[in-house]
C-alpha cells in the first residue's frame, strides 16, 4: 500500500524537477555543489532543483529521501525490535522512517520510564539477580517476537542478556518488560532468545562452557567438568509468563554453542544450534598456551547441534532428568540414549543458522568459510531414522555424514555471517569482511546481487524474514563500524543501521541511522498492523507488570495516609495538576509505602513522580498504578514533583516529603488521615 504512495510522490517530485529545467544525474553521480554551500546547506524557499543543487543531491538521493520520508502525523508500516547491546535495553524503530519510537527498559534501569528507580520494577530486576545480587547492566543480543504457526503474532517479544544468562518477557500491549528469568545452571548465553513455532518454549543456549550450576572446577579439567546447556523455558501465553517449574534443559558437550533457530513446518520439532571451538581450546596465552582465537580455529568442521525438542519434552515429563540449580536437566548421556541430540559437521567457525520459511532448509554461514551451506531436513530426518552415522564425537554424540545431509553450497564472499529470507525465494546474507549484503537464490544456490554497506556488517534483518511468510520490501544492515558516516563525536562512534530497499530489480541503499547507546546484534521487523497497543490502562489503577487492577489502587476522593504495623501507607492520586496528598509527614527511620494511581485516561496524559535525594523516580502512564517502598532514613525536607511536563501548571505539580528527626515532637500523620475533597473534585 505504501509503495503506491511512494511511487506517486516520486513521480510528482521528478515532474517538478524537470519543470524547473534541471538535468538530473542518471548514473547516481554527484551533482556539483553550489559556490559557498555544503552538503548540509539549506536553499531556503527554493525549488526542488535549487535544493538539490545547494546540497549536492542526485536523483537517487531524492528517490531515497522520498522512500523514507514520513510526513508529520503519518505512521510507519513496520516496527523493528532491536537489541540494545551493552545498554541492556531494547529499541523500537519505525520503518521506513528509521525513527526511534521507544527504548524499552529491560535489564538496566531506565530513568525516563522510572524503570528500576523505586517502584515494582525494582522487584522485577531482582528476579534476574544472580546469587542474590541485583545486576544493573546487561548485554542484549537476540529479540524474538512471539509466533503462532511460525508467523509473528504481535503479542510478546523476548530478549536475552548474554553477559548474565537472563531472559526477559516484554508485553506488546504496552511495550513494558513484565518478567525476567535467570537460571544459575549456566553463566552466559548466546543462542537466545528463539521461540518454537507456537511459542511453546523460549530457547536459551549457553555459549561459554562452565561447570553447571555455578560450581568451580580447574579449567584444565575442561572435558571432564565443563559443559554447555540448552534451556527450554516454558511459556504460558494466557498468563504472559515463563514458567520455570515447567521448563527443562538439555546438557551438551563443552563446545561453545552459538546462534540457534527453531525449525518450522517441515522441520517443526527440532532446534538447531551452531557451535565453535570443537577443539575445546580454553586460552591461557599468558601461560604458554595458544590464544583462544587460534586454538579454537584449527578444525575444518565444527558441529551443528540437532535437538529434537519434542522428544526432549517427553523425556523431561517422564522424569528422566536431574535437578541442577533448580532446573530439570536431561543429562548428556540420556540425551544420546533417547535420540534427542545429534551432530552434523558444519564448515569452519559457523555463526548464522537460519531455517527457511518452508522449514526444509537450514542455512549455515561460517566466519572462516566463503560459502553458505544448505542442509536438507528430509535428508537429516532420514539419516537419523536409519541410524546412518559417520561416527561419534568424543562424548558419544552420533554424527551424521556431512555430504549426505546437505543439498549444496553457494560461494557468497568473505566473512558470511547471518541470513534472512525474502518473499520470493531469495536469501540475504551479511558479509562481515567484505562489508556487503549478498542476495542469492535458495533454489538455484546462485548469487544474484551484492550491495556494499558501511561497515563491517554483523547481523541483518528483513521484513518478517525469519517467519513462514517473509514480507519482502526491506532489509536492514546492522553495521558494527560507522567510519565517515556521521558528524564526529569523539573516538567512540555509534553503530550504523542501513535501510535497504529490496522491492525493485536492484537493491537500493536508502538511509543511514546512528545507534548511540550500545552495539545492537539481532533485530526483527514486523508489520505494524499486527500490533494493537493500548493507549491507557483501564480502569485506572492497573499494575503494568500484571495487567490487573492493583490491590493498592487509589480512586479519586479516597486519598489517605494510614499508619500500619509495617509502616506509613500513602494512598495518592495524580491528575493535572496536583498530587493528593501533596504533603507527607513521616518520622526518620519509618518505612514508607507510596501507592500512586494516575487517574487520568486521556491519551498521553503521563505523569512522573520523584523524591529528591531518595533516588525515587517513576513514570505514571494514564491509568497506571505504582507502588514504592523505602525507608525514610534521612531527616529533612524533600520536594517531590511531577517529572513529566503535563500542563501549563506543571511546575506547580509538586509537594513536600517531610522527614522529621527521630525523637522530635513535630506533627506527623495520625493512624489514619482522610483527605477532604477539593472543590474541583467535588464538582466533578
Residue 676 pLDDT: 54
261 in Cβ contact with 466 (< 8 Å)? yes
Residue 118 pLDDT: 84
Q: How many domains does the chain have?
A: 3
Residue 46 pLDDT: 74
Spatial neighbors of 470 by CB under 8 A, at least 6 apart, are 357, 420, 421, 422, 423, 462, 463, 464
Element (H, E) at 126: helix 120-127
The label of the residue with cell 521528478 reads 14
The answer to whether residues 389 and 427 belong to one domain is yes
Beta strand spans in 519-635 (E): 523-527, 542-543, 548-549, 560-564, 567-575, 578-580, 583-587, 591-598, 607-611, 616-620, 625-631
Is the whole-model pTM more than 0.85?
yes
The answer to whether residues 660 and 561 belong to one domain is yes
Positions of the chain with pLDDT under 50: 1-38, 679-684
Residue 505 pLDDT: 94
Residue 114 pLDDT: 95
Q: Does residue 437 form part of some domain?
A: yes
pLDDT tens track for 218-241? 999 999 999 999 999 999 999 999
173-208 per-residue burial string, b: 16 or more CB within 10 A, e: under 16: bbbbbbbbbbbbbbbbbbbbbbbbbbbbbbbbbbbb
Element (H, E) at 320: none
Lookup: cell for 119: 517502584
Lookup: cell for 597: 494511581
The answer to whether residues 375 and 393 belong to one domain is yes
Beta strand spans in 197-269 (E): 201-205, 228-236, 241-252, 256-262
Q: What is the CATH number of the domain that holds 339?
A: 2.130.10.10
Residue 131 pLDDT: 87
The answer to whether residues 387 and 494 belong to one domain is yes
The answer to whether residues 21 and 124 belong to one domain is no
The answer to whether residues 445 and 424 belong to one domain is yes
**Which of 11, 38, 68 is a domain's end point?**
68
Q: For residue 466, give the 3-state DSSP assignment.
A: coil
291 in Cβ contact with 285 (< 8 Å)? yes
410 in Cβ contact with 374 (< 8 Å)? yes
Q: Which residues on neighbouring strands pair with residue 650, listed in sequence order? A: none
The answer to whether residues 454 and 507 belong to one domain is yes
Residue 22 pLDDT: 37
Residue 481 pLDDT: 96
The answer to whether residues 331 and 447 belong to one domain is yes
203 in Cβ contact with 192 (< 8 Å)? yes
For residue 60, CA distances in Å to 24, 98, 455, 477, 511 come to 9, 18, 21, 19, 12
Residue 682 pLDDT: 41
Residue 119 pLDDT: 83
**Which of 21, 48, 68 is a domain's end point?**
68
Please give the residue range of the domain that contains residue 54: 2-68
Q: Does residue 537 form part of some domain?
A: no
507 in Cβ contact with 420 (< 8 Å)? no
Q: Determine how many CB atoms are found less than 10 A away from the CB of residue 544.
A: 26
Distance CA 68, CA 147 (A): 28
Torsion of the alpha carbons at 63, 66, 69 and 71, rounded to the nearest 10: 170
Query: Any idea how long the chain is?
Result: 684
Q: What is the CATH number of the domain that holds 549?
A: 2.60.40.420
Q: Does residue 488 form part of some domain?
A: yes
Residue 27 pLDDT: 38
**Which of 41, 68, 95 is a domain's end point?**
68
Q: Does residue 213 form part of some domain?
A: yes
For residue 599, CA distances in Å to 243, 327, 602 come to 33, 42, 9
Amino acid at each position: 500500500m505504501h509503495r503506491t504512495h511512494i511511487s506517486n510522490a516520486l513521480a510528482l517530485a521528478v515532474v517538478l524537477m524537470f519543470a524547473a529545467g534541471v538535468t538530473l544525474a542518471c548514473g547516481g553521480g554527484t551533482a556539483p555543489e553550489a559556490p559557498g554551500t555544503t552538503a548540509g546547506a539549506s536553499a531556503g524557499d527554493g525549488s526542488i532543483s535549487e535544493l538539490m543543487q545547494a546540497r549536492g543531491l542526485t536523483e537517487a538521493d531524492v528517490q531515497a529521501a522520498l522512500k523514507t520520508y514520513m510526513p508529520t502525523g503519518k505512521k510507519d508500516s513496520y516496527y523493528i525490535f532491536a537489541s540494545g547491546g551493552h545498554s541492556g535495553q531494547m529499541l523500537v524503530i519505525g520503518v521506513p522512517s528509521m525513527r526511534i519510537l521507544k527504548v524499552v527498559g529491560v535489564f538496566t534501569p531506565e530513568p525516563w520510564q522510572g524503570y528500576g528507580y523505586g517502584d515494582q520494577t525494582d522487584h522485577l530486576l531482582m528476579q534476574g539477580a544472580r546469587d542474590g545480587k541485583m545486576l544493573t547492566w546487561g548485554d542484549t543480543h537476540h529479540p524474538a517476537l512471539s509466533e503462532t504457526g511460525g508467523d509473528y503474532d504481535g503479542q510478546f517479544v523476548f530478549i536475552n542478556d548474554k553477559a548474565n544468562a537472563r531472559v526477559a518477557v516484554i508485553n506488546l500491549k504496552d511495550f513494558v518488560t513484565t518478567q525476567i528469568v535467570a537460571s544459575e545452571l549456566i553463566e552466559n548465553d548466546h543462542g537466545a532468545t528463539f521461540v518454537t513455532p507456537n511459542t511453546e518454549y523460549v530457547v536459551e543456549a549457553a555459549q561459554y562452557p562452565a561447570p553447571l550450576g555455578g560450581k568451580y572446577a580447574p579449567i584444565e579439567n575442561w572435558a571432564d567438568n565443563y559443559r554447555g546447556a540448552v534451556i527450554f523455558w516454558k511459556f504460558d501465553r494466557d498468563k504472559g509468563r515463563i514458567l520455570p517449574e515447567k521448563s527443562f534443559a538439555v546438557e551438551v558437550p563443552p563446545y561453545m554453542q552459538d546462534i540457534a533457530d527453531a525449525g518450522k513446518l517441515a522441520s517443526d520439532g527440532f532446534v538447531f544450534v551452531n557451535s565453535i571451538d570443537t577443539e575445546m581450546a580454553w586460552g591461557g596465552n599468558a601461560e604458554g598456551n595458544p590464544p583462544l582465537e587460534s586454538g579454537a580455529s584449527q578444525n575444518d568442521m565444527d558441529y551443528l547441534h540437532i535437538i529434537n525438542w519434542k522428544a526432549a519434552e517427553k523425556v523431561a515429563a517422564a522424569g528422566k532428568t536431574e535437578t541442577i540449580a533448580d532446573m530439570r536437566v536431561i543429562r548428556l548421556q540420556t540425551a544420546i540414549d533417547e535420540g534427542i541430540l545429534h551432530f552434523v559437521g558444519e564448515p569452519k567457525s559457523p555463526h548464522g543458522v537460519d531455517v527457511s520459511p518452508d522449514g526444509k532448509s537450514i542455512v549455515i554461514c561460517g566466519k572462516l568459510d566463503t560459502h553458505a551451506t544448505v542442509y536438507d531436513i528430509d535428508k537429516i530426518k532420514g539419516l537419523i531414522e536409519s541410524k546412518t552415522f559417520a561416527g561419534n564425537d568424543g562424548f558419544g554424540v552420533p554424527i551424521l555424514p556431512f555430504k549426505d545431509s546437505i543439498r549444496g553450497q553457494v560461494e557468497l564472499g568473505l566473512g558470511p555471517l547471518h541470513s534472512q529470507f525474502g518473499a520470493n525465494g531469495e536469501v540475504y546474507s551479511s558479509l562481515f569482511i567484505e562489508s556487503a549484503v549478498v542476495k542469492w537464490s535458495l533454489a538455484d544456490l546462485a548469487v544474484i546481487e551484492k550491495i556494499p554497506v558501511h561497515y563491517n556488517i554483523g547481523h541483518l534483518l528483513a521484513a518478517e524474514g525469519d517467519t513462514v511468510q517473509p514480507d519482502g520490501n526491506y532489509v536492514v544492515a546492522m553495521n558494527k563500524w560507522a567510519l565517515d558516516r556521521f558528524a564526529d563525536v569523539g573516538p567512540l562512534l555509534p553503530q550504523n543501521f542501513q535501510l535497504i530497499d529490496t522491492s525493485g530489480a536492484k537493491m537500493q541503499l536508502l538511509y543511514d541511522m546512528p545507534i548511540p547507546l550500545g552495539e545492537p546484534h539481532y533485530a526483527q521487523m514486523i508489520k505494524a498492523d499486527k500490533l494493537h497497543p493500548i493507549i491507557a490502562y483501564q480502569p485506572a489503577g492497573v499494575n503494568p507488570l500484571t495487567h490487573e487492577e492493583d490491590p493498592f489502587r487509589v480512586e479519586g476522593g479516597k486519598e489517605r495516609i494510614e499508619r500500619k504495623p509495617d509502616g506509613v501507607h500513602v494512598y495518592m492520586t495524580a491528575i493535572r495538576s496536583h498530587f493528593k496528598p501533596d504533603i507527607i509527614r513521616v518520622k526518620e527511620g519509618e518505612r514508607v509505602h507510596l501507592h500512586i494511581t494516575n487517574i487520568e485516561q486521556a491519551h498521553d496524559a503521563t505523569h512522573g513522580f520523584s523524591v529528591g535525594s531518595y533516588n525515587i523516580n517513576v513514570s505514571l502512564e494514564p491509568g497506571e498504578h505504582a507502588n514504592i517502598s523505602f525507608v525514610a532514613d534521612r531527616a529533612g525536607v524533600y520536594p517531590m514533583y511531577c517529572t513529566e511536563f503535563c500542563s501549563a501548571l506543571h511546575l506547580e505539580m509538586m509537594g513536600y516529603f517531610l522527614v522529621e528527626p527521630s525523637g522530635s515532637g513535630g506533627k506527623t500523620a495520625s493512624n489514619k488521615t482522610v483527605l477532604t475533597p477539593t472543590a474541583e473534585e467535588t464538582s466533578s
